[in-house]
Amino acid sequence: MNLSAIYHRSTGSDCYALDNDTVVLNLHTAYDVEQAYVVSENPFLNELERTPKWEGKCREMKRCLELEHSVIWTIELRPAYKRLQYYFIVEAKGESFCLFENKLCAPEERDTISTEFFKFPWINPADVIKPPAWVRDTVWYQIMPDRFCRGKDAPADEKFRVWGDFSDPHWNDLYGGDLRGIRERLPYLSGLGVSGLYLTPIFLSNTNHKYNTFDYYTIDPDFGSEDDLKALVKDAHKLGIRVMLDAVFNHCGTEFFAWKDVCENGRHSRYFDWFFINRDDFLKDDFTTADGRYYTFSFWSPMPKLNTNNPQVRRYFTELCLHWARDYGIDGIRFDVGDELSHLFLRELRTALKRENDEFFLLGEIWFDSVGWLGGDEYDSVMDYPFTGALGDFWRDDSMDARALHRRLNFCRSLYPRQVNEVMFNFLDTHDTPRVRDTCDSDDVLLQKLAVLMTFSGTPCLYYGTELAMRGEKEPFNRGCMPWDEIAEGKFDSFRDKVAALIGLRRAQPDLKRDEMTFEYDDALPRLVRYRKGEVTVVINAGDTAAELTPEGKTLFANLYDGERLLPEGTAIFLGK
């Protein structure tokens, strides 16, 4: 037995409260383990029963997730008195071992040295991770306002390029998209099936992306006014669409009032400690800060890093977020560079926002394993880049089979508690990545990826234009203008209707929102991806050979499927037991 692979820690996704009565335990082992058990009970049971030795009840665990080199076993327990003490037993080829917190040993060695049991001390309702319920049912749509739509009554301005003209584009071009334009296109988004809008920054700045914010209280005039935002949120809500703004609190722009004061007064500025300034000559005229004179986003001098450890900074941005929530009526905030904000700030901010609205949604931009931010006291969810990477690798590497994809997706699911998995922010592309169509051989392959996105646990997000198979590999090409004239001409109707159908399935089938999924493999067709979620079966042919496929109940969605054969690059989704 591979003893070094046996692992459990009574925290994070290994041990957590699923609700006010249920504790989930997960145990990691190698593939050679044939069965796993947990021995558990109330830690004070022997005192209650007046027995000299604590003895728990042994329960069989379920083999839950297969990863690349390991297996995860799971069990749900409902401790009668909210407390839990436990240890594990693993068996393989006639061998048996016990895993305690402080040792892994043979059963007969259990009492030879001091034994420390694992413990879940108490299910405190306040500590149970409870993301907003509405997020689980949301289909998001990310918009860069400058590139989505210019309002029909917007005044002409020579600083804006001709809409859609991407001849010799530059990273700082302006096209004049605004909040009124987004508002005018709400019926389009509602018809697509979108139920949540994520807007990249809209506050005062001198760039088209606004990630170098000058004034967090002033909407950039290029985008409109406070009244425009309020009207957008109000109209979106009437259509059942939530609205999430982008918060850039890791860094600011050079015209932010506090930074300007520091530049004028140096160490004498009352805002000096709002930033991380390491030298008196920090105002050196150099775009890069690789010399360490002050900290910035990456090494870009126009984006000085804010000190969210400072109580004044924390207070300023907490009051700002409360203003956004109260006065604009928004439903959530996405935090740019969310991994570099102080945990102290995030906990304080969450407490304030949840006190204002316990259904408010906090999303962090983090590109890696984020369990340290998802304990229920900071973010509700993060952007699931590991999921995006798993799909990208599978369609990029023909040597990967369906089992390998399954294990990569299982890795994503293994990182967090189940209720977090159900609200993970999943996507195929964003303004920071190549457009997903540029990573696909065809529109049909893009539909395959979209089918996985819409049937995987978590909350899916489309980058504007993905429903049209828009192209664009690198910035600024991945930030093109929405082609409204061509949309009106019907150029994209066929593809967009298929995307809308997938979104409709997502919203109509409760099983698709569950975290559980069961894969089935075909050794003769190694790249035939087939999995079940409840009564829904998803089949995707990522190989180069047609697959004989008998309909399994009602056909919910079909592309390159004739009722008998699923062609290469084809997708079919069925409903039925």
Q: CA neighbours within 13 Å on the CB side: how many for 225?
A: 2
| φ, ψ for residue 362, nearest 5 deg | -115, 120
The strand pairing partners of 275, in sequence order, are 306
CA distance 333 to 356: 14
Please give the single-letter amino acid code of residue 289. T
CB 342 within 8 A of CB 370: no
CA distance 304 to 294: 7
Look at residue 84 and give its three-state secondary structure: strand
Q: Please report, for residues 131, 330, 336, 419, the alpha-carbon distance to residue 358 in angstroms, rounded to integers and kept in the order given.
A: 9, 13, 22, 16
485 catalytic, yes or no? no
Residue 325 gets which letter from DSSP?
A: I
At CB < 8 A and 24+ separation, what contacts does 517-524 make?
A: 517/409, 517/456, 517/457, 519/402, 519/403, 519/406, 521/401, 521/402, 521/403, 522/402, 522/547
Look at residue 219 and give its three-state secondary structure: strand
User: What tokens were used for 71?
Assistant: 């297996």
Residue 288 gets which letter from DSSP?
A: B
What secondary structure does DSSP assign to 507-528, as a single string?
A: HH-GGGGSS--EEE--TTSTTE
| Tally of CB atoms within 10 A around 79 | 19
User: What tokens were used for 294?
Assistant: 């002050």
CA 195 to chain centre: 16
CA distance 139 to 454: 9
365 catalytic, yes or no? yes
Catalytic residue among 336, 384, 401, 429: 336
CB 467 within 8 A of CB 185: no
Catalytic residue among 41, 365, 422, 552: 365
Apex CA 144: angle with CA 138 and CA 148, to 5°? 95
Measuring CA to CA, which residue among 468, 450, 492 is closest to residue 139? 450
Residue 415 gets which letter from DSSP?
A: T
Catalytic positions, written as ranges:
336, 365
